[in-house]
Structures are given as structure tokens and as C-alpha cells.
Amino acid sequence: MTINPAHLSDDDGATLRAFLESAKARGEVVDVSPPPPPPPRVELLSPAEVANRLGMSRTTVLRRTADGDPKATKVGSHHRIPLAEFERYSHN
């Protein structure tokens, strides 16, 4: 359960503290820690960006992604190449 203390009224805070103390008294594990950070965002490149970085045409990049190298994903109707995949491809 995630609770933001800034959104609690004084009464809600007191109720929560009483609940947690009761749980601890019953021997339950109570962990009050911040939530884990969100996963890192994956940077995606368009075929035009990949073409510009590699010095080739966008059409060539699209043809090669259709052949499976570099691997691309579709976001809606658009192809996108993850940055890690671009780096792998550009170093081969």
C-alpha cells in the first residue's frame, strides 16, 4: 500500500499510526519505506534519427528493420528503435 503523508488529514494520520502500532503489537511486519523508484525510461529513436546518425536514408533503415536488424518496435503506427538496440547495431 502506498500512502502520501502530505495528503493525510491529522485524523487520518492518527488513525494510520494507531493501525500500524496495533499491527506491530500483534507481531506483524511493518515496513515504512519510500516506494521504489520508477523504472528508467527507454529512449526510442525514429528511423529518421537512426538514419541521420548512421549516414544512410530513412528508407534503408526501414528496410533493414523490416528484415529484423536493427530490431524495432511499433508505437502506434510508427517504428521506433530503442537506443540500446541502435548502439548494438551501430557497433557491429
pLDDT in tens, 47-84: 999 999 999 999 999 999 999 999 999 999 999 999 99
Q: DSSP letters of 22-91? A: HHHHTT------PPPPPPPPPPEE-HHHHHHHHTS-HHHHHHHHHTTSS--EEETTEEEEEHHHHHHHHT
- Neighbouring-strand partners of residue 79: 74
| 51 within domain boundaries | yes
* Residue 66, domain extent: 44-90
Q: What is the pTM of this model?
A: 0.57
Tally of CB atoms within 10 A around 54? 15
| 4 within domain boundaries | no
> Cell digits for 7?
495528503
For the chain, the maximum distance between any two Cα atoms, rounded to a whole number of angstroms, is 68
| 69 within domain boundaries | yes
End-to-end Cα distance, the chain: 46
| 37 within domain boundaries | no
Residue 1 has pLDDT above 90, yes or no: no
> Cell digits for 25?
503489537
Number of structural domains in the chain: 1
